[in-house]
Amino acid sequence: MSAIVLAGGGSTRMGKNKALLQLGEKTMIERIVDTLRPLFNEIILVTNHPEEYHFLKNIIYIKDEKILEERNSLIGIYSGLLAANNSYAFVVPCDMPFLNQGLIKYMIDKLEDEDVFIPFIEGHYQPLHAIYSKRCIEPIKKLLDQQKYKIINFFHEVSIKTIDEDTVKRFSKEFTCFLNVNTYQAYLDIQKHWDKLLIRGD
């Protein structure tokens, strides 16, 4: 299985590239890549500025397919899946620093032949912490062509399996593994509660 890390967004709420923010001894993107490394035989970073990530080793860098003017994570998933050398890919954003290795491994192990394997938490899918098959490429392209960018809008065209809250809680009691760092305030809060968050993420 491949891992696809999305890093092609504008980080407008943060005001600077959030992937490169320092958290403890590592940048956010390094934390993510280090968590994924033992689990996947290829890691694909989808970014239009690969030069900003020269410090990451053994990574495949790809740019977004040039089919849209605007930015959105769906185009990143599409571009990553097209480039992936495996039939399945686990997709994550560049701003989810408390990824739980145990949960991701569980997802890899429990995948059967579904097209999407995804946590369903508090009434919502977690589309940026999910496994997608290459069979999703066509339905995603259809959405992009219709200028519809909500990831879950193609789910009715593919087979889906979900992971429930209780299962996720076995790995990450308070769902810290899905925590996004989108704003500078969120970044400051995380730094303040760093030790506690690291434990909760386990």
Residue numbers at the binding site for ligand GTP (CB under 6 A): 6-14, 46, 64, 71-73, 75-76, 93-95, 182
Looking at the Cβ atoms of 155 and 167, the one nearer to ligand GTP is 155
Nearest to 125 by CA among 107, 90, 151, 93: 151
Q: Are 133 and 114 in contact (CB under 8 A)?
A: yes
Is 134 annotated as ligand-binding?
Answer: no
Nearer to ligand GTP, 6 or 107 (CB): 6
Phi, psi of 193 (to 5 degrees): -105, 25
Q: Using alpha carbons only, give the angle 202, 200, 178 rounded to the nearest 5 degrees.
A: 80
* Sign, CA torsion 111/119/150/185: negative
In the bound complex, what is the minimum distance in angstroms from residue 11's beta carbon to ligand GTP? 5
Residue with tokens 């290795």: 101
Residue 64 known to bind ligand: yes
CB of 152 to ligand GTP, least distance (A): 14
In whole angstroms, the minimum distance from the beta carbon of 160 to ligand GTP comes to 20
6 is in an annotated binding site: yes
Structure-token pair, residue 68: 């849209």
Tokens at 158, concatenated: 């593919």
Q: How far apart are CA 28 and CA 83, in angstroms?
A: 23
113 annotated as a binding-site residue? no
Q: Tell the burial category of 77 from Cβ atoms under 10 Å away from its Cβ (0-12, 13-18, 19+).
A: buried
Could you tell me the smallest distance in angstroms from the CB atom of residue 72 to ligand GTP? 5
Question: Considering beta carbons, is residue 9 or 97 the nearer one to ligand GTP?
Answer: 9
Does the annotation place 24 within a ligand binding site? no
Least spacing, CB of residue 77 vs ligand GTP, in Å: 8
Q: Which is nearer to ligand GTP, 10 or 123 (CB)?
A: 10
* Residue 173 is assigned to a ligand binding site: no
Annotated binding site for GTP: 6-8, 18, 64, 95
Sequence ranges of the binding site for Mg(2+):
95
